């Protein structure tokens, strides 16, 4: 079963379009990230593939419906099932998003931004503690792409992430593409965002594509990584050193070899920056 991730590992999001090819080809991928909710089921083909791939590769778990910032009580049954899945796959870590995604009754299936206020910080830190108490491990939280901001914000998003990791003990999943998308939509400097995060709390990086409409950018995860995001990724590694990096694709899936080529590009660009460094961040 899954072990700790190798230093400076390069992973792919585990998607059903590629299950069979992964088992047949044993591609040069260091690890896979699974969408937790896809496998929180009592049985079936999904778990068959999960177990088979977990025998060959380390895994991490990435959720999309925790709704850590939502107005509702945390779903205790969801957390118990999440922990049961973790006991099955032994992930190196468990992540979700710093956002809210449902109201009192209904899952909205979107990752909605939060107000970055003192009240919000205290509220979410308490909820992180509840999650970590169930999981018995640090929760890793990802910055989301956003298109609106709250008028009442006391913090920038990066200040809020830094404060939350400090007061709650959570770790951070830095999505470089999301930083770029939000920087274009809100007019801030993406490097300021990254540079102001606590480097020792960044557990993982995400790379993905987006759709650029000129006046605004949408985080679609259905395109190759753009040149500005690649450049920001290299600068991020210059600042942080080696960090486990994941390439995400959630729609318009290319042939598997094309995805592997894109992951290979991440390796090559990182090698140019890091010049043989083997120290994990």
In the chain, alpha helices (H): 19-25, 45-54, 76-89, 118-135, 157-168, 176-186, 190-195, 227-240, 256-274
Give first-to-last CA distance, the chain, whole Å: 24
Pairwise CA distance, residues 55 & 258, whole Å: 25
Query: Above 60 in pLDDT, residue 268?
Result: yes
Query: Above 60 in pLDDT, residue 280?
Result: no
**What is the average pLDDT score of the chain?**
91
Query: Above 60 in pLDDT, residue 239?
Result: yes
pTM: 0.93
pLDDT for position 261: 98
Share of the chain above pLDDT 70, in %: 92
pLDDT for position 152: 85
Query: Above 80 in pLDDT, residue 19?
Result: yes
CATH of domain 10-274: 3.20.20.150
Which is higher by pLDDT, 217 or 126? 126
120-147 pLDDT, tens digit each: 999 999 999 999 999 999 999 999 988 8
Mean pLDDT of 153-164: 96
54-88 pLDDT, tens digit each: 999 999 999 998 999 888 899 999 999 999 999 99
């Amino acid at each position: 079963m899954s072990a700790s991730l190798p230093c400076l590992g390069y992973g792919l999001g585990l998607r059903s379009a590629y299950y069979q090819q992964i088992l047949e080809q044993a591609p040069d991928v260091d690890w896979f990230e699974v969408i937790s909710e896809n496998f929180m089921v009592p049985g079936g083909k999904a778990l068959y593939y999960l177990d088979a791939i977990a025998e060959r590769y380390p895994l991490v778990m990435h959720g999309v419906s925790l709704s850590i910032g939502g107005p509702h009580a945390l779903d205790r049954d969801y957390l118990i099932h999440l922990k049961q899945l973790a006991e099955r796959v032994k992930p190196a870590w468990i992540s979700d998003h710093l956002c809210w995604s449902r109201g009192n009754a209904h899952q909205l299936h979107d990752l909605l931004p939060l107000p970055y206020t003192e009240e919000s910080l205290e509220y979410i830190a308490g909820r992180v503690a509840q999650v970590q108490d169930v999981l018995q491990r640090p929760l890793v939280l990802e910055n989301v792409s956003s298109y609106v901001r709250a008028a009442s914000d006391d913090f920038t998003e990066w200040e809020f992430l830094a404060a939350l990791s400090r007061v709650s003990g959570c770790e951070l999943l830095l999505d470089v593409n999301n930083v770029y998308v939000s920087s274009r939509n809100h007019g801030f400097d993406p490097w300021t965002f990254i540079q102001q995060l606590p480097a020792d709390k960044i557990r993982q990086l995400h790379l993905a594509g987006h759709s650029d409409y000129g006046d605004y950018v949408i985080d679609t995860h259905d395109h190759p990584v753009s040149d500005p995001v690649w450049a920001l990724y290299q600068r991020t590694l210059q600042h942080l050193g080696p960090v486990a990096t994941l390439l995400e694709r959630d729609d318009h899936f290319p042939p598997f070899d094309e995805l592997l080529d894109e992951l290979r590009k991440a390796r090559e660009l990182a090698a140019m920056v890091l010049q043989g460094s083997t120290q994990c961040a």
